[in-house]
Amino acid sequence: MHRTLRSGLALPLVALFAIAPLAARNPGSQAAAELPSARSIIDRHIKEVGGRDAILAQTSTHAIGTVSLPAAGLTGKLEAFQAKPNKFLQRTSLPGIGETEEGFDGTVGWSISPLTGPMLLDGKLLEERKFEADFFEDLKASDRYESLTTLEKTTFEGRPVYKIRLLKKNGAEDLEFYDSETGLKAGAISTRDSPMGPMQGTTSLTDYKKFGSLLQPATTRVSVMNMQMIMAITSVEYGKVDPSVFAVPAQIKALIK
């Protein structure tokens, strides 16, 4: 498993090595010195969406919306539950395909797909699921990362952005883009493990709207291997999630030895 993961990561690492020298090439240059720190860019985003206190005041969320794969002509329902510290359940339903569920109850990571059946996550898949399940993920707590580095000011999806590298403690890294004018997060490029191996995706976050006390991106576009998936949120409810929603389904329990 370890060897597979290492070889599987070869591709994204090539891309990352292409980026790293840009940041390290001339650290003392005037350009680098003029760039704001990654922490300050993230903190500005946090302030723009409602502030750290408003985020930390939340205990759970329930989002409802739609998911679509335009090229395949598919549009369905999307429902996502999250609770602190790190529980989540996401349910998508596509006509002709059926319902897919992904969950994490703080310990057990799992998925149930009408295409591949129930699956218990382990190894790197479970590790990634646990990391991403953090309810306050977007605060980018420094103890969760090895380093946060501003790489450059560039453009992303036609917007002026700061590009930030987030190096995780396990060596994996993501690139995130924050709008230099609005301060809001504009998107990310990340590689995630999947049952089929590592996949690189580009995520763009748009249509920020106020849901309760927080500003949220109502539209998330994900592009993987030339296929685009659009997730649109229509409502978000806070603090009313029944904890039982995160219970591991019976067919997943049966997989746990």
Residue 104: CB atoms within 10 Å: 23
Chain residues 4-33 in contact with another protein, contact rule CB under 8 A? 11
Q: Smallest gap, in angstroms, from Cβ of residue 208 to another protein? A: 10
Rounded Cα distance, 26 and 38, in Å: 17
Binding residue (CB under 8 A) for another protein from 20, 23, 55, 126: 55
Q: Smallest gap, in angstroms, from Cβ of residue 103 to another protein? A: 10
- Any contact of residue 51 with another protein (CB under 8 A)? no
Binding residue (CB under 8 A) for another protein from 110, 135, 177, 246: 135
Rounded Cα distance, 74 and 68, in Å: 5
- Which conformational region is residue 154 in: left (phi greater than 0), alpha (psi within -120 to 50 degrees), or beta? beta
Q: Smallest gap, in angstroms, from Cβ of residue 216 to another protein? A: 6
Rounded Cα distance, 91 and 73, in Å: 19
Chain residues 174-203 in contact with another protein, contact rule CB under 8 A? 185, 190, 192, 194-201, 203
Q: Which is nearer to another protein, 35 or 67 (CB)?
A: 67
- Any contact of residue 118 with another protein (CB under 8 A)? yes
CA dihedral 145, 150, 155, 156 (to 10 degrees): 0
Tell me the one-letter amino acid at 7: S
Q: 146 is written with which tokens?
A: 């090895």
Q: In the chain, helix, strand, coil percent, each to 5? A: 30, 45, 25
Q: Which is nearer to another protein, 35 or 241 (CB)?
A: 241
**With 0-12 CB in 10 A as exposed, 13-18 as middle and 19+ as buried, what is 63?**
buried
Q: Smallest gap, in angstroms, from Cβ of residue 188 to another protein? A: 8
The residues binding another protein (CB under 8 A) are: 11, 49, 55, 58, 61, 63, 65, 69-74, 78, 80, 82, 88, 90, 92, 95-98, 100, 102, 113-119, 132, 135-138, 185, 190, 192, 194-201, 203, 205, 211, 214, 216-217, 220, 222, 224-227, 229, 231, 233, 236, 238, 250-251, 254-255
